[in-house]
Chains A and B, each alone.
Chain A
């Protein structure tokens, strides 16, 4: 199994680093070009959320196995302001900043699994997974 990659996120430069790392790992795991693009785009959206709302955080990208299937897991964590209303935040088109509000809902649509935890004043953690078919 390829090794996990950890990308510290501090500026927009790290958005590109995170999605390039994600695409490379996806390719190593055997994902096709369309899934590679989905995974890289989801990472891009989630990492931009960190930069926009929390200023800094971390993205961990790693291979996973579950009952004989292989996948990729992306964990985006920050210690930012947190999300007051998660249900609202994951709705299509919702945004409190100047983006189009496709960060969370877009990442959810592009990936197979989507989990989010957030606490006001403590930070936010988003986990997404994509499984090899």
Chain B
């Protein structure tokens, strides 16, 4: 499952940023999810950004993985924000009936960081 380990998970300040640039097989997507949660635990990050700018297909399996990462991160006290969803991906997700409920989204990485900072500030009030 080389694909999952090829996705770098970078730490920037209190956040982790991972950008998916390869086609993920089902098994590597599951492994990637596990890697993300392990990195959250190790780095004690308050937020996670999953950048999907380069992703051309999100099917129901990948959609479920994303929703699960959001729920699992939240249980660990970390907020997930998805960034860079292509219009075609957003359209197919809604037509599929998958609206990634409970997952925060932002237009791009910069706005994603702003969203995370706001969510974390609200959480600390």
Contacts and interface: CB of A to CB of B under 8 A. Distances in A.
Interface of A: 12-13, 15-16, 19-20, 23, 33-34, 36-38, 40-41, 44-45, 48, 92-93, 99-100, 102-103, 105-106, 109-110
Contact of A34 (B26, B58, B59, B88): B88
B102 to A, nearest CB: 14
10 contacts: A16-B25, A20-B23, A23-B57, A41-B92, A44-B59, A48-B26, A48-B59, A92-B97, A100-B64, A102-B98
Nearest to A47: B59
B75 interface: no
Contacts, number: 74
Interface in B23-57: 23-27, 56-57
Interface residues of B, number: 23
Interface of A is mostly: helix
Interface of B is mostly: helix
Contacts of A92: 97
Interface in B1-29: 23-27
B4 to A, nearest CB: 13
Nearest to A22: B57
A92 B95 CA distance: 12
Contact of B60 (A20, A37, A45): A45
